[in-house]
Structure 1
């Protein structure tokens, strides 16, 4: 019996996902065919289905692959000595993928498909929940230490911060003149001024 080389298997799988990612971002999920993915990856249909049973499985795998450092980054942020710089660093980290050419369009497509697919929506929500929890924890600590306005509700404020980060991706996908790299400093400035501690009675 022929044995499977795990490293080669993973490399071929990654190659297929890379090819599919560009197509999903450029054409959307619905208009991308498995035949196009095969051509882009330079493989036969039979070879493709050896790795993925269908197009949906490929799309889910594309969206489900996480930065291997993500969990560590979230944990490190939550444990930082000074929560406010850690919060801003975390915002930078979460918004940074928006500068990559295919990511904003892929995020938009994920949002569309998640609306139609409860399983996909649940997959994306798990990641968002981890990020939301890390941001809320940092806000709680920053408020307790007087670094930000203590009147801000951590959970609600974390939701708004997540929405602002998401808007970087949607703007990059829908507005040709929007340059995420140029706008990220503005995002930091908006958050800094929104969060800053206010004198009592103001």
Structure 2
């Protein structure tokens, strides 16, 4: 999967062959097709892995006591993920196949998992008077994801806009959005 992510990032979805993925991974095509019947099934596996990773990230925080620190930690975690130099190319590769029903379903699931992970923490932060309560926890969660999606979209199209360089500004924007 790592080899495929690297190939998709470098040459796009259409420009990546299963042979190139196999070469990069150091495996034969028989091994590839044993695990992934198509290139798209491999892309879906990468997306599912990311979704599972997000679900797991929130699960290990279930006992944390400071809800705002969890939201901020998620922002930092996201920036760390977005700092991968392959990310911009991978986002463009996924964008090229977003119209595919299975890809749309995988992305919708990822969004749902993010909402289900963040919304309870935002609701808890509201109850603790840590974030604004004039907007529902659901809407604040949606707006937080809008900001993160915009951040990711900018990373995908502007090489001068880097996650590491913009992390403090992202935190400031989110903090201002959430402040009571």
TM-score by length of 1: 0.79
35-44 vs 83-92, greater mean Cα deviation: 35-44
1:40 aligned residue (21, 24, 38)? 24
Gaps of 5+ in 2: none
Distance across 2 between alignment mates of 1:151 and 1:47: 54
How far apart in 2 are the matches of 1:55 and 1:47?
13
| 2:178 pairs with 1:162 | no
Name the structure 1 match of 2:85. Answer: 101
Closer, same or farther in 2 for the Cα pair 1:68/1:124, shift >3 Å? closer
Q: Which has the higher contact order (CA 8 A, sep 6+)?
A: 2
Aligned with residue 153 of structure 1, among 118, 127, 136:
136
Deviations 1:170-195 (A, max 9, x none): 22221011121111111111111221
In structure 2, what is the Cα distance between the partners aligned to 1:150 and 1:44? 55
For 1:13-162, list aligned pairs within 5 A.
Answer: 17-66=1-50, 70-114=54-98, 116-162=99-145
User: Mean Cα displacement is larger for which, 183-192 or 101-110?
Assistant: 101-110
> Could you tell which deviates more after superposition, 73-82 or 127-136?
73-82
Q: Is the 8 A contact 1:95 1:168 kept in 2?
A: no
Per the TM alignment, residue 126 of structure 1 is displaced from its structure 2 partner at its CA by 1.5
Residue 35 of structure 1 and its aligned partner are, at CA, apart by 2.5
- Compared CA separation, residues 145 and 96, structure 1 to 2 (3 A): same
* Max Rg structure: 1
CA contact (8 A) 2:123 2:137 kept: yes
Normalising by structure 2, report the TM-score. Answer: 0.87
The RMSD of aligned alpha carbons is 2.1
Q: Deviations over 1:53-107 (max 9, x none)?
A: 2222222222222387543421344542121112111222233211011123212
Partner of 1:4: none
- Are residues 61 and 73 of structure 1, via their aligned partners in 2, closer, same or farther at CA, if it must alter by over 3 Å? closer
Change (3 A) 1:77 1:165: farther
CA distance in 1, matches of 2:60, 2:151: 24
Report if the CA contact (8 A) 1:77-1:134 is conserved.
no
